[in-house]
């Protein structure tokens, strides 16, 4: 059993003492969030005993269950750089979970061990330029043909998070037997990282969101992750936990933005009184308080469901979809109010909340847009009713 309150307290202390000062250097002073900085922060996290909330103790992690992660990752999410400092940021968070549950012993030794220990980064290549797969995985265009020596992969991907500088990528490609996941080393001559796409969320992601190309990319049979033809069902292993990790981390940032707004309106006076005494400001504060408490509630429910039933159970996927949809929108509302409560200073990155809001916007799209998840939520509810 873990002493979770103590771990949350130590994580909070680590974030505010070690990470927040560096966050300001990145957001305000233009310091680049690269692998050197990632390794520096992760070394500090290991020294503080807070590294690896998603990793097994065999790899230097904390071995937390999902409900325990919810509390710790909210604390870590108080900084844009907090989750990556603890090795709990996309896409490595989902890939650690996927490899732990799907990879064979040799694949775990070669890929999972260094990833979970923070020695390397990874990427997952799923999303494709039109007319390829986006929210609909059934539109997958990348194809792997079987040969006497293994497989040859051809196809283009984009929004491949973390590809620049990743040690390996998990590629989802069609085969004659259906979608399959392949482990591809970054130095494979048939794999190429192209343009780093100029996205709005760039502060916290070393390796960016990239275009990548698989061109006559040869891999052996041992590169198959899981079972041939079972790539999409096996991807469900990472999907619900990854959606929930996003929700946990971003909620932490929303809470911090809210607290920054509270501090500001308590210290700033207008029309003869502190802004905090004005009714309109209090209404914004109240709405944010409700959003935060409600978000914690749906995260807790989803985490307990995953722990009880496993990540691929229909109930787990349903609760994770609800959590991801609600929390992504609640986080946006809270951070938008934080900007509003800062007034003119809110749009200046000196006060950080502007960058928080911009970075959080993509959360409503990646790991499933809100509209797609609402469709899934509604269909499950209707099936259950019928």
Alpha helices in 32-150 (DSSP H): 35-48, 66-76, 82-85, 92-102, 105-107, 113-116
pLDDT score for 22: 97
Q: Read off the pLDDT of each residue in 132-151 and give the average, rounded to a whole number.
A: 94
Calpha distance 29→23 (Å, rounded): 9
158: pLDDT strictly greater than 80: yes
As to burial, measured by CB atoms within 10 angstroms (0-12 exposed, 13-18 middle, 19+ buried), residue 313 is middle
Query: What is the tens place of the pLDDT at every residue in 184-212?
Result: 999 999 999 999 999 998 887 789 999 99
pLDDT at 42: 98
**Per-domain residue ranges of the chain:** 4-102, 122-227, 232-385
Report the pLDDT averaged over residues 160-176: 97
Confidence at residue 203, expressed as pLDDT on a 0 to 100 scale? 83
CATH number of 122-227: 2.40.110.10
Helix (H, G, I), strand (E, B) or coil at 191: strand
Is a pLDDT exceeding 80 seen at residue 1?
A: no
Give pLDDT, residue 135. 87
Output the CATH code of domain 232-385: 1.20.140.10
Q: Return d(Cα 164, Cα 121) in angstroms, integer.
A: 9
52's torsion region: left (phi>0), alpha (psi -120 to 50) or beta? left
* pLDDT for the residue 386: 84
Q: Residue 178 has what pLDDT?
A: 96
For residue 242 the two structure tokens come to: 């990854």
Distance CA 345, CA 12 (A): 26
Torsion over CA of 198, 80, 117 and 306, rounded to 10 degrees? -100
Residues 315-338, mean pLDDT to the nearest whole number: 98
| Cα dihedral across residues 97, 100, 106, 112: positive or negative | positive
Q: Mean of the pLDDT values across residues 144-150?
A: 97
Name the token pair of 137: 């995985």
* Distances in whole angstroms, Cα of residue 329 to Cα of each of 284, 292, 301, 358: 15, 11, 17, 13
Q: Read off the pLDDT of residues 330-362 as tens digits, 9 standing for 90 and up.
A: 999 999 999 999 999 999 999 999 999 999 999
**How many CB atoms neighbour CB 178 within 10 A?**
14
Q: Mean pLDDT across the chain, nearest whole number?
A: 96
- Provide CB contacts within 8 A for 101, sequence distance 6+: 237, 311
Mean pLDDT, to the nearest integer, of 260-266? 97
Query: What is the CATH topology of the domain spanning 4-102?
Result: Butyryl-Coa Dehydrogenase, subunit A; domain 1 (1.10.540)
- Structure confidence at residue 385 (pLDDT): 86
CA distance 278 to 275: 5
Mean of pLDDT values over 119-147: 95
Strand ranges for the chain from DSSP E? 122-125, 143-147, 150-161, 168-175, 178-185, 191-196, 209-219, 224-225, 269-270, 273-274
How many helical (H) and strand (E) elements, i.e. helices and strands, does the chain have? 13, 10
Q: Which long-range contacts (CB under 8 A, 24 or more apart) does 96-101 make?
A: 96/54, 96/55, 97/54, 97/237, 97/238, 97/241, 97/242, 97/311, 98/170, 98/225, 98/234, 98/235, 98/237, 98/238, 99/225, 100/56, 101/237, 101/311
Lowest mean pLDDT among 48-52, 130-134, 169-173: 130-134
Q: What is the pTM of this model?
A: 0.95
Model confidence over 33-57: pLDDT tens digits? 999 999 999 999 999 999 999 999 9
**Residue with tokens 């409560």, as numbered in its chain:** 341
Average pLDDT over every residue of 118-126: 97
DSSP 326-378: HHHHHHHHHHHHHHHHTGGGGGSGGGSHHHHHHHHHGGGTTTS-HHHHHHHHH
| 6-38: pLDDT as tens digits | 999 999 999 999 999 999 999 999 999 999 999
What integer pLDDT is reported at residue 205 of this predicted model? 78
In terms of Cα–Cα distance, which of 218, 224, 169 is closest to 193?
169
In this prediction, residues 54-74 reach a mean pLDDT of: 96
Residue 204 confidence (pLDDT): 77
């Amino acid at each position: 059993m873990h002493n979770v309150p103590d771990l949350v307290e130590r994580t909070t202390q680590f974030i505010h003492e070690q990470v927040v000062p560096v966050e300001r250097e990145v957001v305000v002073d233009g310091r680049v969030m690269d692998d050197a900085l990632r390794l520096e922060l992760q070394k500090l996290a290991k020294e503080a005993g807070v590294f690896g909330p998603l990793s097994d103790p065999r790899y230097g992690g904390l071995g937390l269950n999902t409900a325990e992660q919810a509390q710790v990752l909210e604390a870590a999410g108080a900084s844009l750089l907090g989750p990556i400092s603890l090795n709990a940021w996309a896409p490595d968070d989902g890939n650690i979970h996927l490899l732990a549950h799907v990879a064979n012993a040799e694949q775990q030794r070669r890929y999972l061990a260094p990833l979970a220990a923070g020695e390397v980064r990874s990427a997952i290549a799923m999303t494709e330029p039109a007319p390829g797969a986006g929210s609909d995985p059934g539109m997958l265009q990348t194809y792997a043909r079987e040969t006497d020596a293994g497989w040859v992969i051809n196809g283009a991907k984009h929004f491949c998070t973390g590809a620049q500088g990743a040690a390996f990528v998990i590629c989802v490609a069609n085969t004659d037997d259906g979608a399959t996941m392949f482990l591809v080393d970054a130095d494979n001559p048939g794999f190429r990282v192209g343009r780093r796409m100029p996205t709005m969320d760039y502060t916290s992601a070393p390796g960016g969101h990239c275009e990548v190309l698989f061109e006559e990319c040869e891999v052996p049979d041992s590169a198959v992750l899981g079972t041939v033809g079972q790539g999409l069902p096996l991807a469900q292993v990472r999907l619900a936990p990854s959606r929930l990790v996003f929700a946990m981390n971003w909620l932490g940032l929303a809470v911090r933005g809210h607290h920054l707004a509270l501090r500001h309106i308590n210290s700033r006076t207008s029309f003869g009184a502190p802004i905090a005494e004005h009714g309109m400001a209090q209404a914004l504060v109240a709405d944010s308080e409700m959003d935060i408490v409600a978000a914690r509630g749906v995260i807790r429910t989803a985490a307990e469901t995953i722990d009880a039933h496993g990540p691929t159970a229909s109930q787990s996927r349903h609760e994770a979809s609800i959590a991801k949809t609600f929390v992504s929108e609640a986080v946006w509302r809270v951070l938008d109010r934080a900007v509003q409560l800062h007034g003119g200073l809110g749009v200046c990155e000196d006060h950080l909340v502007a960058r928080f809001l911009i970075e959080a916007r993509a959360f409503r799209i990646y790991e499933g847009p809100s509209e797609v998840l609402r469709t899934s939520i509604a269909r499950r509810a209707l099936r259950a009713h019928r």
